[in-house]
């Protein structure tokens, strides 16, 4: 199983989700491939945005080495689930990767009882965004466990 978290530039929400889910999976002893990517080239090569890093540090979540990258066709392999932060990301992802199978791309917010996760680049609420991501990743982990390794 592989999880790919998706946001616009791959410097805030999706790498935060990657760090959170990697930490949760490690603590749960689950061998899940976890990565993140963008639907835009705007931030390609850049690290996690400093305020996002600060929010992760405040919660004690390990920050993984990261360079923003664009989602690519190789991300669609068997067992891959693409988890977008908002509907705009889903639309751009479908245009970027037309080979996405039905049900392969979803909103991460579905796993936390919410829809979209607001972009802290605009809201400046990195701690609130991270709290939403944590809740959604915990919900995703519960579903993975309940389904014996399949989200």
Inside any domain, residue 151 = no
Inside any domain, residue 82 = yes
pLDDT of residue 1: 86
| Half-sphere exposure (Cβ direction) of 142: Cα atoms closer than 13 Å | 10
Which tokens sit at 37?
């990517």
The pLDDT of residue 13 is above 70: yes
For residues 112 and 135, the answer to whether their CB atoms sit within 8 Å is yes
Inside any domain, residue 90 = yes
- Give the count of domains, the chain: 1
Q: Of 23, 75, 86, 119, which one is the catalytic site residue? A: 119
Confidence of residue 48 (pLDDT cuts 50, 70, 90): very high
pLDDT of residue 150: 56
The range of the structural domain enclosing residue 53 comes to 2-146
- Start-to-end CA span in the chain (Å): 9
pTM exceeds 0.85, yes or no: yes
Inside any domain, residue 101 = yes
Q: Of 7, 129, 136, 137, which one is the catalytic site residue? A: 7
Whether 13 is catalytic is yes
CATH number at residue 35: 3.40.50.2300
Confidence of residue 54 (pLDDT cuts 50, 70, 90): very high
């Amino acid at each position: 199983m592989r999880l790919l978290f998706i946001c616009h530039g791959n410097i805030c929400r999706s790498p935060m989700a990657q760090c959170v889910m990697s930490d949760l999976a490690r603590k749960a002893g689950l061998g899940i491939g976890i990565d993140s990517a963008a639907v835009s080239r705007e931030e390609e090569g850049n690290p996690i945005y400093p305020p996002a890093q600060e929010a992760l540090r405040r919660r004690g979540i390990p920050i993984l080495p990261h360079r923003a990258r664009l989602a690519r066709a190789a991300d669609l392999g068997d067992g891959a689930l693409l988890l977008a932060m908002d509907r705009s990301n889903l639309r751009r992802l479908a245009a970027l990767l037309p080979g996405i199978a039905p049900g392969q791309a979803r909103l991460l917010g579905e796993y936390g009882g919410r829809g979209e996760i607001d972009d802290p680049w605009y809201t400046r609420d990195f701690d609130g965004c991270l709290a939403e991501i944590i809740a959604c990743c915990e919900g995703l982990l519960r579903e993975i466990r309940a389904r014996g390794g399949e989200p």
